[in-house]
Amino acid sequence: MISLRGLKRLNRYENRLYKIARLAGDLGQLKQVGYSRKSKNGFRFPVYALTLGKKSAVRKYPVGLVAGVHGLETVGVRVLLDFLESIFAEPGQVLKDLKKGKFAIVCIPILNPGGVAMKRRSNPDGVDLMRNSGVDGESAMAFFGGQKLSPHLPYYRGKSLQPESRTLFAFIREHLFSARSSLIPVLDIHSGFGMRDSLWWPYAGKTEPCPDQNLYERTARILCQDQPGIVPESQSDAYTIHGDLWDFLYSEFQALNRKPRFLPFTLEIGTWAEIKKEPGRLLSRRGLFNPPPESKAETILRYRAFLERFVRLNELY
Ligand SMILES: [Zn+2]
């Protein structure tokens, strides 16, 4: 069911996206790159992508940012929109760099708009997009790691690659796979899991270290320098799952044998500490996946600095 509150929320986020594109002027381009899976009453939600930067930098030095993969984890969407807006509302180093063409930002701020409108984690067909790539995990956690039993239960893997997953794959291949910078970073922002924040890298589906493990460790140290609250680790150190979209893209890029390193990261904003302070939040679905309103504003500001470092990674390295 599409919820009126969910729809209004989605509308608010999309309006902010239009506003950011307007603020960016010549440096910004907003376009529709796909559609969500149809809801039961036949509604498809557009998926938008925003690119910020000079055309040549978009082609050569892109940095990827993604949020809203899970429809309930709206704090991730807000963290991303806040950062993008702050680039123009409070101009600083990032805007200078964008104008000079040092890098460009390519992003999909709400990959799962149907999930946001329907106030659910999955897409409109009940598929958990972060279990949907089709890759079988090794020793993945039972149920939570992805299940094929029913779309009416959480963590459903789906029978085929969903339109939202296809949209992400096409976008990443088009914008990041032929980049010329030595590091091609992309950050996917989630919220919910854990007592503290985590910065994860592949693999999510197996415990063996990925070929870029050392590079990831070094890079994470740079990113988390002034962020003691964020703990960097390989995702499988937390848990393993089936069908991780980033594992799929990472392995696909590895097979291209290109010299640059494609580095997908996941930022998981932990909200369980908030639940410990206020156990009633366990009873609300949104409460489980998002910090309470009073600390939400603080959370959003805290990540601005982190995202600034993230987009400037090639300069800082
Ligand atoms: Zn998530």
pLDDT digits (tens), the chain, 317 positions: 888 999 999 999 999 999 999 999 999 999 999 999 999 989 999 999 999 999 999 999 999 999 999 999 999 999 999 999 999 999 999 999 999 999 999 999 999 999 999 999 999 999 999 999 999 999 888 899 999 999 999 999 999 999 999 999 999 999 999 999 999 999 999 998 777 899 999 999 999 999 999 999 999 999 998 888 899 999 999 899 999 999 999 999 999 999 999 999 999 998 766 555 655 665 565 566 666 666 677 777 789 999 999 999 999 98
Exposed, middle or buried: residue 306 (CB in 10 Å: 0-12, 13-18, 19+)?
buried
Whole-number Å distance, alpha carbon 26 to ligand 1 midpoint, is 33
Ligand 1 centroid to residue 180 C-alpha, Å = 30
User: What is the distance in A from the centroid of ligand 1 to the CA of 98?
Assistant: 29
- Cα torsion at 3, 30, 85, 192 (round to 10°)? 40
d(CA 301, CA 299): 6
Q: How many CA atoms lie within 13 A of 34 on its CB side?
A: 22
Enter the tokens of residue 64: 């990827």
Please tell me the predicted confidence (pLDDT) of residue 200: 97
Domain boundaries, the chain: 4-316
This prediction's pTM: 0.93
Distance 70 CA to ligand 1 centre (A): 5
Dist. CA 265–CA 272, nearest whole Å: 21
Q: What CATH number has the domain spanning 4-316?
A: 3.40.630.10
**How many Å lie between the centroid of ligand 1 and the Cα of residue 254?**
24
Q: What is the pLDDT of residues 121-178, one digit of tens each?
A: 999 999 999 999 999 999 888 899 999 999 999 999 999 999 999 999 999 999 999 9
Distance from Cα 192 to the centre of ligand 1, integer Å: 7
Give me the pLDDT at residue 229, please. Answer: 87
CA 157–ligand 1 middle distance (angstroms): 14
- C-alpha 172 – ligand 1 centre gap (Å): 19
The pLDDT of residue 276 is: 55
Ligand 1 center to 93 CA (angstroms): 30
Q: How far is the CA of 108 from the centre of ligand 1 (A)?
A: 15
The phi-psi region of residue 243 (left if phi > 0; otherwise alpha if psi is between -120 and 50; otherwise beta) is left
Distance from the alpha carbon of residue 82 to the mean position of ligand 1, in angstroms: 19
Q: Compute, in angstroms, the gap from residue 97 CA to the centroid of ligand 1.
A: 30
Instruction: Give me ligand 1 centre to Cα 191, in Å.
Output: 6
Torsion angle in degrees (nearest 10) through CA of 273, 232, 237, 106: 100
